[in-house]
Structures are given as C-alpha cells and as structure tokens.
C-alpha cells in the first residue's frame, strides 16, 4: 500500500466516523460477499463486500452527472439517485454479523485527482508523432528532464520506464501492485512529481515504475490526467487538443456513450461471429499497437467461445477471423486472438490503435461521451486474413 493511499484512507475513515455518528445508516442484507453494482444505463460491476474497509468506496462513473446507482446482494438491494459532489453511506450486513460500510461517492477518485493548470483558458494544442500506431508527446518532468511520453487511453495509471527511472532522478517512496503483460507484481511508486506538456502542467503526479515499456518511452500517461477535460485526437493534423468545452464541429462526428474502467474508456462496437452481430463493450486502447483482443469476458458472453471458428490455436488461445463495426465503419477480415472463457487474468477485451487511429475522436470525460469521425487513414493496413495466409505460406 502506498503512503498516499494510506493517508487518504485515514482521512476518509475520520469523515465516515463523523457521518455515522450523526445519522442512522440504511442496511441491506447479504448471505455472501458477492454483490453487483449498476451505475446508470451501461455500468455493471462485480463488487466484493469487505468488512475491513471503513468505508469501501465506489466512485460514480461520471461524477459530474446525476446517476442511478444500485447495489444488489443475494438477499437484498439498495438504490440511490446521486447528484454531483454528494456521498451516500450505507451498511451491508454480511451473514447477519459482519458490517460492511460502503460509500457511493459522486466525486472524482481522490487517488487520481491531479492539480492541472494551463495558461490558456479555452483549449491547448499538443503536437504528437506516431511510431507504429502509438501516440508520442514531448514533456518535461520535474522542471528539468525532457521525456518522451506515450499517450495511452488503455493505461490505468501514469507509468515510468524502469530503465530510465534512475537517470530521471526519481525517488520511490511507496509501493503498489500492478497487473500488465509481465503478470501481477509489486513495484515502486514515486509521488509529488510535476509534469509539463506544452502549456499544461500537472502537480502531485504519482509515477508507477514498470518494466514492460518500449525502448525510447520514458513515461506513459492515460486518461487519469484528463478526467475533468475534453480530449480531441486529430490524426489528420497530428495534434491533441485539450478543450474546456465541447467544440461545435463535434456535430459532424458520430456520438456514443462511454463508461470508465479505472479511468480507461470503454465503448460499444459490433463483432460478427457465425454471421450474427454481437454488440459488446471494448476498451478504447490507443496504446495497443494491434487491431484487437478478445478476453474471457467476451468469450463467456452468449457462449461465444464455442461459436468462434479457429484458424489455429496458440497457447490455448484461438486465432480467429472476423468482421467488426465501429461507428458505422466496417473492418473486414480482422485476424486476432481469443482467450478461453475459463482463463484467469486474461487481457481485457479491446480494440487497439491499428484500428482506432482510422478515426479522429473527441472524448468528453465530463459527460461520458465519445465522438468518432473517419479520417484520412482509412486505407492504413491492419492485421487481416490476407496477411495471415501470407505468413502461413512463408513458414
């Protein structure tokens, strides 16, 4: 547990104790620790009841908007109509004896809040370059170190490359557990950093040290730095624009809802399996230099594992060929991998940037909306069936 997390937990506990003394809390009954939280029209999360947390906090997915939150146990349920800036406390009584204190908080997660400031009151433009399909920005860390920064909407935290951490002069004062392509491991964290990109500076940035970054990448940043902003990625002009309000030209884009998993946006697209269309929620992963990946959450859905025809098998995964549709645009003959439904810890179902960078996009974090418009990269290649056949013939 990091020092920052410990401090926040103690602060929240004190506030919670004052709250519980002042009012009698609603109680729901539970026969086991498995519960489900639904948040608005799209979010459905498995939730483990924990009597040791005081309280255990669920942060409303889009805290700037009202929502309807329901927690359902095997025996009972409770519902709240939330308003921005408000918190709602209750107790889940587990097996008739253990009190699980839960708070529904319609605020931004206190562990991901960053103090960002800009010299421009309306918008900031940040030029970027593409290496493969990934986005790279130039930044300055702690006012004196130039860093190469990958922008990755699929990143749940802000990361520093283990290979350059010493050169950057970072002091690691905490620990956290990270799950990535290297598995689940405890790693060091460095708090209190300042990051500047263009005219925007963030303070109190917490960096997590990881060992799976590419050579030439110093930092990876994700959506946690922009949860109170509107992000535009313009691949035609190789620029990011950070807006304070939604631009009028967004009306020319196709609009759809998103929800956030650890600040990472998930959006709905359609995959065709066996001639039938299946809508599903995919991670919008601009840091993935590939087309897509199908996790066990997808292959469990409507028994899709049995319905996916395999071109070949690799380490228990099916290599499959399918068509996908995003914002009305069809991507035929994608070749990708599918994890079996019973595989623990499989990759989240996602689209990668070989496909996603065919669209200019606007992500409105405040309203939980995504705007997509096909761009000039529509002829850019991606991993498809023709390439797969050529690779097989070449063996």
Quote the tokens at residue 50: 């924990």
Chain centroid to CA 350: how far? 11
For residue 6, give every residue at least 6 positions away whose Cβ sits within 8 Å of its Cβ, in sequence order, or none: none
Confirm if 79 and 165 have CB atoms less than 8 A apart: no
223 and 125 in a single domain? The answer is yes
- 251 phi-psi bin (left φ>0, alpha ψ -120 to 50, beta other): alpha
Q: Supply the CATH number for residue 352's domain.
A: 2.40.70
- Three-state secondary structure of 1-54: CCHHHHHHHHHHHHHHHHHHHHCCCCEEEECCCEEEEEECCCEEEEEECCCCCC
Q: Is 389 helix (H, G, I), strand (E, B) or coil?
A: helix
227 and 142 in a single domain? The answer is yes
For residue 290, give every residue at least 6 positions away whose Cβ sits within 8 Å of its Cβ, in sequence order, or none: 336, 352, 353, 354, 383
129 and 235 in a single domain? The answer is yes
Is 289 a domain residue?
Answer: yes
Q: What are the pLDDT tens digits along the chain (395 aa)?
A: 333 333 333 334 444 444 444 469 999 999 999 999 999 999 999 999 999 998 999 999 999 999 999 999 999 999 999 999 999 999 999 999 999 999 999 988 765 656 567 766 789 999 999 998 999 999 999 999 999 999 999 998 899 999 999 999 999 998 887 666 666 778 899 999 999 999 999 988 999 999 888 888 999 999 999 988 999 999 999 999 999 999 999 999 999 999 999 899 999 999 999 999 999 999 999 999 999 999 999 999 999 999 999 999 998 999 999 999 999 999 999 999 999 998 776 678 999 999 999 999 999 999 999 999 999 998 888 887 777 777 666 54
Task: Return the pLDDT at 114.
Answer: 62
Q: What are the angstrom distances between the C-alpha of 168 and each of 123, 172, 218?
A: 29, 12, 9
Task: Return the pLDDT at 343.
Answer: 76
218 and 236 in a single domain? The answer is yes
Last residue of a domain, one of 216, 242, 268: 242
Task: Return the pLDDT at 12.
Answer: 42
Task: Return the pLDDT at 330.
Answer: 96
Count up the domains in the chain and report the number: 3
Q: Supply the CATH number for residue 177's domain.
A: 2.40.70.10
Is 381 a domain residue?
Answer: yes
Last residue of a domain, one of 75, 105, 135: 105
Domain range for residue 309? Answer: 249-393
Is 110 a domain residue?
Answer: no
What is the rounded distance in angstroms from the CA atom of residue 189 to the CA atom of residue 209?
6
Residue with tokens 């708070």: 103
Confirm if 354 and 290 have CB atoms less than 8 A apart: yes
256 and 384 in a single domain? The answer is yes
What number of other Cβ atoms are within 10 A of residue 14's Cβ? Answer: 11
Query: What is the reported pTM?
Result: 0.86
49 and 185 in a single domain? The answer is no
């Amino acid at each position: 547990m990091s020092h920052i997390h410990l401090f926040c937990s103690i602060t929240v506990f004190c506030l919670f104790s004052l709250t519980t003394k002042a009012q009698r809390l609603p109680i729901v009954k539970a026969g086991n620790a498995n519960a489900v939280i639904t948040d608005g029209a799209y979010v459905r999360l498995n939730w483990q009841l924990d009597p040791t947390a005081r309280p255990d906090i669920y942060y409303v997915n889009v805290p700037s908007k009202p929502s309807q939150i329901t927690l359902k146990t095997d025996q009972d349920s409770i519902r709240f109509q939330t308003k921005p800036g408000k918190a709602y406390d209750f107790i889940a009584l587990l097996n008739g004896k253990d009190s699980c204190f839960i708070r529904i908080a319609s605020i931004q997660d206190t562990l991901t809040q960053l103090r960002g400031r800009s010299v421009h009151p309306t918008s900031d433009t940040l030029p970027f370059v593409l290496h493969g399909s990934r986005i790279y920005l130039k930044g300055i860390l702690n006012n004196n170190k130039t860093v190469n920064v990958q922008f990755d909407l699929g990143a749940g935290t802000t990361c520093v490359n283990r290979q350059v951490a010493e050169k950057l002069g970072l002091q690691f004062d905490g620990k956290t557990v990270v799950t990535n392509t290297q598995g689940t491991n405890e790693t060091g964290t460095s708090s209190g950093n300042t990051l500047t990109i263009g005219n925007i500076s963030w303070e109190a940035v917490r960096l997590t040290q990881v060992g799976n970054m590419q050579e030439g990448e110093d930092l990876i940043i994700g959506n946690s730095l922009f949860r109170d902003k509107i992000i535009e990625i313009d691949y035609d002009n190789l620029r990011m624009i950070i807006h304070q309000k939604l631009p009028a030209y967004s009306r020319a884009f196709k609009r759809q809802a998103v929800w956030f998993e650890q600040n990472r946006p998930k959006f709905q697209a359609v995959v065709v399996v066996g001639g039938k269309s299946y809508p599903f929620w995919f991670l919008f992963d601009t840091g993935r230099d590939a087309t897509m990946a199908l996790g066990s959450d997808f292959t469990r859905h409507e028994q899709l594992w049995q319905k996916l025809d395999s071109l070949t098998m690799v380490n228990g995964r099916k290599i499959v060929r399918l068509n996908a549709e995003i914002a009305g645009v069809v991507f035929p003959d994608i070749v990708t991998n599918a994890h079996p439904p019973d595989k623990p810890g499989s990759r989240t179902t996602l689209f990668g940037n070989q496909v996603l960078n065919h669209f200019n996009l606007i992500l409105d974090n405040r309203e939980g909306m995504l705007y997509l418009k096909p761009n000039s990269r529509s002829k850019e290649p991606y991993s498809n069936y023709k390439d797969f056949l050529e690779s097989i013939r070449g063996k």
